[in-house]
Amino acid sequence: MKFTRFLYSIVFVLSRCALAQSKHQPNALPVVDLGYALHQAIAYNEAGGYYNFSNIRYAAPPVGSLRWRAPVAPKVDRRQIQTGNRAVTCPAGPVWWASTANEFVPSYLQGIPYNPSTKPPPSDAELIQQLPSATEDCLFLDVFSPKQVFQNAGRTSGAPVLVWLHGGGFAVRSKTDGVNPSGLLKRAKENSHDSIVFVALNYRIGVFGFLGGPTRQRDGIANAGLYDQRFALRWIQKNIHLFGGDPDKVTVMGNSAGGGSIMHQITAYGGKEKAPFQNVIIQSPGFLPQASPQNQEDVFDQFLFVAKVRSLKEARALDSKALIAANALQIGRYAPYGLFIYGPTVDGVFAPATPGQLLASGRFDKSVKVMTGHNSLEGLIFTDPAIQNNTAFDAYLRRTFPRIPPASKEYISDVLYPPVFDGSKGYTDQAGRVSLLIAEMTFVCNTFFVHTGFGNDTFGYRFNVFPGVHAADLPYTFYQDAVPPQAVSNTTAAIALQSFETTFAQAGRPKWKGLADFPKYGSSAEIIDITQTSIFQTRDDAANQRCRWWQRGVLS
């Protein structure tokens, strides 16, 4: 299945965290009455002392006439108790360039020259491979509740809730990919007697979740994946008390596409609707701003061509296998190196403008408390090693932004990221130039937009533990004391990061016993730097003029 998921194993970044290593099945695992369904915990983790309620349906199957429409409530089905014992993931696209990245990135980090050889493209049969768990009927979530918290449901106000939105370029991955909350639950219990409730959810990705454009919107919605997330967050507001959680203490955390999703949730509807959460932890928020209706139409037309249909109506009539294949083939054939084609788009409704623009103009929910983080080398794994001269650099910009105004393209290539390789601009070669461009336009500047939008009344950190590439922090967020993953080279950094995350979720301010104070961002752009040898206060590298230019969104 090497083409069906994003390979965060790039540069030994992430080793899969297996779920619930120590499981015990009591005679009577608890059952929760959701009104529309009865759902039983699938397991009790004796070592961690928590229940796992797996694959709870939060929305009706988004199939047939419900494809590319807003999610709706599930039908009532109380005939039997659900256990969620079947793995469920949303259909994914391939990452055709992952094998090259797996070779190039380690070479670059070690200073070894890399010759990008021409590899034969993957066959269609390879591109359309899916996990056995892949299905359009994928709108499910998991709830992990400590036993004592669960038993206190209804007796107390409830424990804080931490909700996970997975990354994957809005095209791959799922709620369980690399996720084991046992370390976070343990860290939270060390902070507070009651720990936290952890929730992870699926949302539609690829063509199923992010097909946009004016033609598309005449018969449905754009950004269906964002609507899924919103629907799940409202489900949490309504139901999390049944698991011992407090709906008034919900923190949403996400990495990469998950972090980018949170930016869209904060700015949803231009701030006209209160967010169904109180705090956010935004890690490496990733998305490319797609404001151009014509860009969206181009992607829509391309999908119809690949699916061999003439309209959205005909696409809705296709069987699931054909649609899943069309999604994979479009991404596999046409996505530029490092990109995934699909992602949030400006639709005039959920996203009336880009998050950066909405944050700059004050159109967002200002009541939310914010912590953000980014990594020190975000762009490298998405950098095409074939870009070795200025001509190739300009061609990359045109591929990434097909309708970019010539003046904007020239400003990017001549002023923001000029071909100056003496180190004064932050790079010494073309790969470093492209890496910085990708890092800032896709991830790093997004954190700056959030800080300044919230009046600098925020918290921020930089994950600077080698290799510091995109997603290198994930094994640290999901670190388990008893089962340290190979990708965690510094357990102190892992415990500190988990402490920052859980204390913020519990009390709205990040803390760790090894740090006297975690400062607010403030006018001096102060963040915490998490390095291989120490954790200290520093100035945010995202507070620069390049990020201020990207916030203007003059790309189409």
pLDDT tens column, 346-385: 999 999 999 999 999 999 999 999 999 999 999 999 999 9
Confirm if 136 and 62 have CB atoms less than 8 A apart.
yes
Q: Let me know: does 554 contact 416? Beta carbons within 8 Å.
A: no
Q: Report d(CA 121, CA 339) in Å as an integer.
A: 16
Q: Which two tokens stand for residue 94?
A: 């391939």
Q: Are 317 and 407 in contact (CB under 8 A)?
A: no
Both tokens of 470, joined, read: 């995109």
CA distance 313 to 7: 34
User: Is pLDDT above 60 for 13?
Assistant: no
Position 10 pLDDT exceeds 60: no
CA dihedral 152→153→156→158, nearest 10 degrees, is: 110
pLDDT per residue as tens digits for the range 338-350 = 999 999 999 999 9
Whether the pLDDT of residue 168 is over 70: the answer is yes
Please determine, for residue 524, whether its predicted confidence score (pLDDT) is greater than 60. yes
In a domain, 212, yes or no: yes
Q: Please compute the mean of the pLDDT values over residues 332-343 and round it to a whole number.
A: 96
Overall average pLDDT of the 255-284 stretch: 99
User: What are the pLDDT digits (tens) for 94-103?
Assistant: 999 999 999 9
pLDDT score recorded for residue 28: 87
Residue 155 CB-density burial (10 A; 0-12 exposed, 13-18 middle, 19+ buried): exposed
One-letter amino acid at 468 equals G
What are the beta bridge partners of residue 81? Answer: none
3-state SS class at 167: coil
CB of 527 within 8 A of CB of 518?
no
Query: Which of these is catalytic: 136, 182, 292, 378?
Result: 378
- Which residues constitute the domain of residue 514? 10-57+108-395+424-552
Q: State mean pLDDT over 108-112.
A: 97
Residue 386: is it exposed, middle or buried by C-beta count within 10 angstroms (0-12/13-18/19+)?
middle
Asked if the structure places residue 66 within a domain, the reply is no
What is the predicted pLDDT for the residue at 27?
A: 55
Which residue carries 């950094």 as its tokens? Answer: 493
- CA distance readout (Å), 235 to 134, 180, 436: 23, 22, 39
Give per-residue pLDDT as tens, 74-97.
999 999 999 999 999 999 999 999
SS3 (DSSP) at 86: coil
Nearest to 167 by CA among 381, 368, 354: 381
Q: Residue 198: which of 145, 255, 121 has the closest Cα?
A: 145
Q: What is the spatial distance between Cα 514 and Cα 504, in angstroms, rounded to a whole number? A: 16
64-76 pLDDT per residue, tens: 999 999 999 999 9
Q: What three-state secondary structure class fits 293?
A: helix
Is the pLDDT score of 6 beyond 70? no
- 128-147 residue pLDDT tens: 999 999 999 999 999 999 99
Q: Which member of 54, 145, 174, 256 is catalytic?
A: 256
- Establish if 5 belongs to a structural domain: no
Q: For 270-316, what is each residue's pLDDT tens digit? A: 999 999 999 999 999 999 876 688 889 999 999 999 999 999 999 99
Q: What is the pLDDT of residue 556?
A: 65
Containing H/E element for 55?
strand 50-57
pLDDT at 552: 87
Domain membership of residue 516 (yes or no) is yes
Confidence of residue 545 (pLDDT cuts 50, 70, 90): very high
- Give the pLDDT of residue 176: 96
> CA 108 to CA 431: how far, in whole Å?
9
Average pLDDT, the chain: 93
CA distance linking residue 355 with residue 359, whole number of Å:
6
| Residue 432 banded pLDDT, cuts 50, 70, 90 | very high
> Cis link prior to 406 (omega < 30° from 0)?
no
What total of structural domains would you count in the chain? 1
Domain membership flag for residue 402? no
Where residue 533 sits, what CATH number does that domain have? 3.40.50.1820
pLDDT of 15 > 50? The answer is: no
Residue 378 among the catalytic residues: yes
Residue 320 buriedness (CB in 10 A; 0-12 / 13-18 / 19+): middle
- 119, pLDDT greater than 90: no
Q: For residue 1, what pLDDT is reported? A: 43
Residue 97 lies in a domain: no
**CA 438 to CA 375: how far, in whole Å?**
13
DSSP string across 108-134: HHTT-------PPPPPHHHHT---TTB
Q: Residue 290: what pLDDT?
A: 66
Residue 526 among the catalytic residues: no
Q: At what angle do helices 224-239 and 257-266 cross, to 10 degrees?
A: 70
Any residues with CB less than 8 A from the CB of 68 and at least 6 apart, and which?
Answer: 208, 211, 216, 219, 220, 221, 224, 312, 316
Within-domain flag for 98: no
Q: How far is CA 430 from CA 101, 113, 436, 440, 467, in A?
A: 16, 13, 10, 16, 19
The answer to the question of residue 122 being in a domain is yes
Query: Looking up tokens 């359309």, which residue turns up?
Result: 128
pLDDT tens for 172-212 read: 999 999 999 999 999 999 998 779 999 999 999 999 999 99
